[in-house]
Amino acid sequence: MCRAGQRTMGQIFHGSRISNIEITDTLFGGYLTLVAEKIVPYQWNILNGKVAGAKISHCMENFRIAAGEREGQHSGVVFGDTDAYKWLETVAYCIANGKGAGLEPLADTLIELIGRAQESDGYLNTYYTIDHPSEKWTNLAEGHELYNAGHLIEAAVAYYRATGKTALLDIAVKCADLICRIFGADGEKPDGCPGHPEIELALIKLRDATQNDAYLGMARHFVRVRGASPNYLLDELERLADNRIFPEFVDYDAKYAQTHLPPVEQTSAEGHAVRAMYLYSAMADLAAVCEDADLAAACAVLWDNVTRKKMYITGGIGASAYLERFTADYDLPNDRMYCESCASVGLMMFGQRMASLTGKAAFYDEVERALCNTVLGGVAMTGDRYFYVNPLEVWPPNCLPSTSMAHVKPVRQKWFDVACCPTNIARTLASLGQYIYAENDEALYVNMLISSRILTELNGGTLTVTVDSTFMRDGRVNISVSSDRPQKIRVRIPRYFANPHFASSVAFPEPGADGYTELSAPGGTHTFCLQGEVTPAFFASNEQVRADAGRLALVMGPYVYCLEEADNGGNLANIFVKPETEIEVGRSCEDIPGSLPLLHFGGERVTKAIEEDGDLYGTPLFRRTGTRLTAVPYGLWNNRTPGEMTVWLKALL
Ligand SMILES: [Zn+2]
């Protein structure tokens, strides 16, 4: 039973407050500064339609029209309001990080506008308010009203926590209260569920901020009625017939929106990858808060299916561009996949919640994989270009419009018609602290070995933990603890951190079954000098992954590496590498942020494949020459001269 009213009950730990954390890491600290100083101002200009040559966002204009301050019709996608909400959420985290004071007046101006666009009963959605007021709540499958409300709520909770201001929280509460009046277990109310999950996890956050259990009940209701028979969303689409928002989605089926079964009975990740991640995240939250063992078991099965059969080595998910969805187990094509940035953000969210639910560190292996590769790869070092789709193999000439490759862009874009990813990447990077640290009554948890500092209160005392991490260079991580009483620090030892020990002769406490090593700080100031071995290595994939058969990927620490044309010339498909090839850890490249090392190794390049010059096919020759190759972290690719890129290399067996 869900024992509502007890905060975070059942959770082994929960994320730390971002305002207590400072990220000092060269790479990630740089990105946090980039978010506050470049990305947020850039996205503000985009949302106000002020960036020349970019896809036009009508986001702010829609709010002005809905507020009655401008004449006009709604423009852009039905979920465009969420760009503003995620922008506000990012600003909130920047403020919490101590980097966003200058942004607060701008955010307050936007919050006032959003307030004016809200209807008197709490309804807030510019698409319906402006052009379709009589059709509210009639198209949950496509209308995204609940999805929009979810992002409003997430922004409101973040802004309230960062600033203590309640204006946006009041707007969100008014909207959430309306949703609670319209939907619910009452037999008089519709049994609808959102076409795109998001409101569920947001309502759980709102309950945490307000202590109003009605929001938890509402979240639980939306998960409970999902997948019920008859299928509410499919019935709705049938009723709508010619009045659909996305008539081109003729293949909208029950799996697409994860309504093929009740969530608790789902065993395989299906449908639209972002929707799936947001749903599973809410399920994990509910499993923890409500101590729901069945839901927890379903989450564990779904997590395994995603990460053991449907996830790219880069932490990308969603193999099919068509309907942006999961496909068969082990179907992981490298050049025409989807791997939406938002889906990897969602994987981070799901993994964080699974770690919180179970207390097991291993979930962070995949959180870190998604963060360090696909999420980082989604944004340029300049902050003003983004990937929506994250390929593992690019040959720019075949990324052609009006083909099956139309969705794959060989360079990052200024903006998109559907622009969910840029603001999602920004809010995730800005909130990184909550992924690094977590707490419960017993210990502080360090989930990722990223240089940073946290000042918090634990066991009635104050505690400062400083992580100084250079493991990608020398395998070292110094963890300094200052406390006014004995404290426990539980540190995730990642699977790539081999032979962990203390630099001194003090015995190293072996990680427990949960994957955490427990450091006992006696009080005062104490430094634990962790030493491990982080070395580059080639990885292969399970033999069921057809796309990677006979291929190798280079990995060092949490970073997957790739070859770029800028270093290695073109036609990367003709490069072969022996699995036993020695890999040299080189210097970092000054053109690429973060001072991560480049990796160098020898390979062979096919210079003439067939005997007959100029023919398309012929007698095999496979003449090869030795070549020296340079690999860069995938998360930082495409920050120099654009060109070919590949993660997987052909093995010379
Ligand atoms: Zn997206």
Cβ-proximal residues to 2 (8 Å cutoff; 6+ apart), any chain: 216, 217, 220, 286, 289, 290, 291, 292
Residue 350 confidence (pLDDT): 98
Please say whether the beta carbons of 479 and 528 come within 8 A: yes
Expressed in angstroms and rounded, the spacing between residue 389 Cα and the centre of ligand 1 is 8
Let me know: does 359 contact 514? Beta carbons within 8 Å.
Answer: yes
Q: At residue 6, does pLDDT exceed 70?
A: no
Q: Residue 41 pLDDT more than 70?
A: yes
Judge whether residue 269 has pLDDT over 70. Answer: yes
421 is a catalytic site residue: no
Segment 426-448 mean pLDDT: 97
How far away, in angstroms, is 388 Cα from ligand 1 center?
A: 6
Distance CA 177, CA 314 (A): 40
Region 551-562: what's the mean pLDDT? 98
**Rounded to the nearest whole angstrom, what is the distance from the C-alpha of residue 429 to the centroid of ligand 1?**
15
C-alpha to C-alpha distance for 602 and 581, rounded to whole angstroms:
7
* Each residue's pLDDT tens digit, 272-297: 999 999 999 999 999 999 999 999 99
Instruction: Give the per-residue pLDDT at 595.
Output: 85
Q: Which two tokens stand for residue 438?
A: 């977590």
> Helix, strand, coil % (nearest 5) of the chain?
40, 20, 40
**Nearest CA-CA partner of 342 in 334, 350, 331:** 350
Q: pLDDT at residue 525 above 90?
A: yes
CATH of domain 445-533: 2.60.420
The pLDDT, as a whole number, for residue 8 is 44
Instruction: Please name every residue paired with 285 in a beta bridge, in sequence order, or none if there are none.
Output: none
Task: Report how far Cα 482 is from the mean position of its chain's Cα atoms.
Answer: 32
Q: What pLDDT does residue 249 have?
A: 86
How far does Cα 4 stand from its chain's mean position?
A: 28
User: Which residues are near ligand 1, the ion (C-beta closer than 5 Å)?
Assistant: 340, 342, 420-421
Q: How far is the CA of 252 from the centre of ligand 1 (A)?
A: 19
| Measured distance CA(332)–CA(315) in Å, rounded | 12
Does residue 2 carry a pLDDT above 70?
no
- pLDDT over 80 (residue 356): yes
For the segment 643-647, the average pLDDT, to the nearest whole number, is 98
* Range in 185-199, 212-226, 275-289, 514-528 with the lowest mean pLDDT: 185-199
State the pLDDT confidence band at 9, using cuts at 50, 70 and 90. very low
CA distances to 321, 383, 386 from 389, in Å: 9, 17, 9
Q: How far is CA 232 from CA 135, 139, 147, 194, 259, in A?
A: 16, 10, 17, 10, 9
Give yes or no for residue 4 having a pLDDT over 50: no
Known catalytic membership, residue 324: yes
> Which two three-digit tokens encode residue 282?
């809410």
Q: How many Å apart are CA 606 and CA 587, to the nearest integer?
A: 28
Read off the DSSP letter of residue 311. Answer: B
Hey, what are 410's tokens?
């060989």
Per-residue pLDDT, 419:
94
The DSSP call for residue 415 is -
In order, the DSSP letters of 569-593 are -S-GGGEEE-TT--EEEEEEPTTST
Mean pLDDT of 140-147: 97
Give me ligand 1 centre to Cα 321, in Å. Answer: 12
Residue 16 · residue 456 · CB < 8 Å: yes
The answer for 144, left when phi > 0, alpha when psi is -120 to 50, beta otherwise, is left
- pLDDT (average), residues 169-195: 92
Q: What is the pLDDT at residue 593?
A: 77
pTM of the model: 0.97
pLDDT, mean of residues 48-67: 94
Cα(199) to centroid(ligand 1), Å: 17
d(CA 58, CA 55): 10
**Of 383, 432, 478, 387, which Cα lies nearest the Cα of 41?**
383
Residue intervals in the chain for CATH 2.60.420:
445-533
Q: How far is the CA of 346 from the centre of ligand 1 (A)?
A: 10
pLDDT of residue 279: 98
Q: Find, among 199, 209, 155, 151, the residue nearest to 179 by Cα.
A: 199
The predicted model gives 82-97 an average pLDDT of 98
How many alpha carbons fall within 13 Å on the CB side of residue 410?
A: 18
Q: What average pLDDT is seen over the chain?
A: 95
Q: Measured between alpha carbons, how far is 115 from 92 in angstroms, rounded to an integer?
A: 17
Q: Which residues pair with 551 in a beta bridge?
A: 650
The alpha carbon of residue 276 and the mean position of all alpha carbons in its chain are separated, in whole angstroms, by 13
Cα-to-centroid distance, 420 and ligand 1 (Å)? 4
Residue 378 Cα, ligand 1 centroid: separation in angstroms?
Answer: 10
Q: Is the pLDDT of residue 62 over 50?
A: yes
Task: Look at residue 364 and tell me whether its pLDDT is greater than 70.
Answer: yes
Measured in angstroms, how far is the CA atom of residue 503 from the centroid of ligand 1?
A: 43
- pLDDT over 90, % of the chain: 93
343 alpha carbon to ligand 1 midpoint, in Å? 7
Strands lying side by side in the sheet with 21-23: 21-23, 452-458, 461-469, 476-483, 524-533, 498-502
* Residue environment code for 510-532, b if the CB has 16+ CB neighbours within 10 A, otherwise e: ebeeebbbebebeeeebebebbb
Beta bridge partners of 438: 15, 445
The reported pLDDT for the residue numbered 10 is 56
Catalytic residue among 175, 180, 420, 421: 420
pLDDT-based confidence at residue 7 (cuts at 50, 70, 90): very low
Residue-level pLDDT at 634: 98
Tell me the pLDDT band of 185, cut-offs 50, 70 and 90: confident
pLDDT-derived band at 190 (thresholds 50, 70, 90) equals confident
Q: Of these residues, 22, 324, 565, 644, which one is catalytic?
A: 324
Measure 421 CA to ligand 1 centroid, in angstroms: 3
